Amino acid sequence: MSSPTSPSDFTLEVFQNEYLPEGGREVNAIVTVTAPAAGQAGGPAAGADGAHRAEIIIVDCSGSMDYPHSKIVQARAATTAAIDVLRDGVAFAVIAGTDTAKPVFPADGSLVPASAATRQDARWAVSQLRAGGGTAMGTWLALAGRMFAATPTSLRHAILLTDGKNEHESPDQLGQALAACEGVFSCDCRGVGTDWVVAELRRISTALLGSVDIVADPAGLAADFETMMQAAMGKQVADVMLRVWTPQHAQVKFVRQVAPAVDDLTGRRAQSGPQAGDYPTGAWAGGESRDYHVCVQVTAAAVGQEMLAARVSLVAGTEVLGQGLVRAVWTDDEALSTRINPNVAHYTGQAELAQVIQDGLEARKRGDEEEATAKLGRAVKLAEESGNEDTAKLLAKVVDVVDAAAGTVRLKRAVAEADEMALDTRSTKTVRRKN
């Protein structure tokens, strides 16, 4: 079932089978949220100019970035490429990260508006970056957070590049820095080479509503940075929340973003009123569309009764940008109550796909070949069923596929570390259901 409604600029569509069997309590829905076309979005940060935007590029300058030397050379080139994409008026800065964090441009730790002159000065400052020292990513992020907080902008975005492990601070220190930065800015993370830890960068990108990916060859950094910065320049509405209201005696079991990537938002709920909670979605670009899986547990009612199980709204500040309704209807018609909505089924499979890939790779690292084969075989089957061709190609670099439809695979004996890390970092990327 699809029920579109658009009180403001955004549109929300709800896809679900609202029919529950007698005694049924779990209501599942996929909510598709679409932003208006570029230049038409409402909200506090709309507009094509750079006045509402701030960008910080955080470059790992630890000693390992000099081995091979091409890493620091390409990191400088990538940072310059990102700076060149900045629109006039965007407040920006560059941070060099080692076991400390140092403002590179401007040197005083402020952010300056982008212009021909400031971009040229920044290019020169970046050209002077040299490798040496350790790695303390929480320190880098904490400095970025302080710099952003002192900047009166609403769209705040960072790019973090590293080539290694977070060796010079504890996981707790990184966690404290992330807690301080949540809600202040978003952050896209990139690991260059294969000596960094996927889980560390995923922890940062998840907390700060960004992406994580591998750039195995340093030569690919400039194009990747340029693409990331272009995407950042396309964002129009900042700090958007998905608000879920449920009636009394009902509760939200989970809220997940399921497209374009899986991201569990359940634990990030902030109470926003009686029976209502807000889940952060970050900033939106014009025309952007995302899907969310909302699962609500309700009190069972008699056959023939109907209830509003949830009201899902998109909110920016005090403005409601769009709204959709999730319903529950109890029936004794088995044909109705057992029908699984195709969108719900598809994204349930995509979420499982991400999980079994990560579980399979972890089992492989532990040397548990039986579990690794079972999990990665299941992943191949799910990728085949859903038409997730990109993930299927990544899986084929880690396992030999005997029968994709049946999920029959053999573990490859020799797997390039970059291929394994690429599968891990991109495991959460999903595809939409083909109609």
pLDDT for 45 beyond 90: no
The pLDDT confidence band at residue 46, using thresholds 50, 70 and 90, is very low
pLDDT (tens digit per residue) in 177-200: 999 999 999 999 999 999 999 999
Q: What pLDDT score was predicted for residue 338?
A: 95
Q: Which two tokens stand for residue 87?
A: 């629109």
Q: What pLDDT score was predicted for residue 42?
A: 45
Q: What pLDDT score was predicted for residue 293?
A: 98
Q: CA of 171: how far to CAs of 58, 88, 102, 265, 323, in Å?
A: 19, 38, 21, 21, 39
Q: What pLDDT score was predicted for residue 38?
A: 73
Q: What pLDDT score was predicted for residue 158?
A: 98
pLDDT for 206 beyond 60: yes
C-alpha span between 58 and 130 (Å, rounded)? 14
Q: What pLDDT score was predicted for residue 1?
A: 47
Burial class from Cβ neighbours inside 10 Å (0-12, 13-18, 19+) for residue 391 reads buried
Order of all β-strands in the sheet with 263-264: 11-15, 26-34, 289-297, 251-259, 263-264
Q: What pLDDT score was predicted for residue 49?
A: 59
Q: What pLDDT score was predicted for residue 435?
A: 72
Q: What pLDDT score was predicted for residue 8?
A: 53
Average pLDDT over residues 234-255: 95
pLDDT for 288 beyond 50: yes
**What size, in residues, is the chain?**
435
Strand partners, 328: 307
Please give the single-letter amino acid code of residue 332: D
Average pLDDT over residues 69-89: 97
C-alpha span between 81 and 57 (Å, rounded)? 11
Q: What pLDDT score was predicted for residue 37?
A: 85
The pLDDT confidence band at residue 428, using thresholds 50, 70 and 90, is very high
Q: What pLDDT score was predicted for residue 5?
A: 39
Q: What pLDDT score was predicted for residue 3?
A: 43
Burial class from Cβ neighbours inside 10 Å (0-12, 13-18, 19+) for residue 367 reads exposed
- Give the chain's largest Cα–Cα span: 72
Q: CA of 267: how far to CAs of 159, 203, 270, 278, in Å?
A: 24, 14, 9, 11
pLDDT (tens digit per residue) in 209-230: 999 999 999 999 999 999 999 9
Beta strands in 317-427 (DSSP E): 319-331, 399-403, 408-411
| Number of neighbours of residue 11 by Cβ within 10 angstroms | 20
pLDDT for 41 beyond 60: no
Contact criterion met (CB below 8 Å) for 153 and 52: yes
Q: What pLDDT score was predicted for residue 183?
A: 94
Average pLDDT over residues 354-366: 98
Whether a cis peptide bond, with omega within 30° of 0, leads into 260 is yes
The pLDDT confidence band at residue 434, using thresholds 50, 70 and 90, is confident
Q: What is the pTM of this model?
A: 0.94
Q: Which two tokens stand for residue 293?
A: 């899986």
C-alpha span between 85 and 232 (Å, rounded)? 10
Domains in the chain, please, with CATH?
11-38+236-339 (2.60.40.3670), 53-233 (3.40.50.410), 343-425 (1.20.120.1690)
The answer to which of 48-57, 280-289, 293-302, 375-384 has the lowest mean pLDDT is 48-57
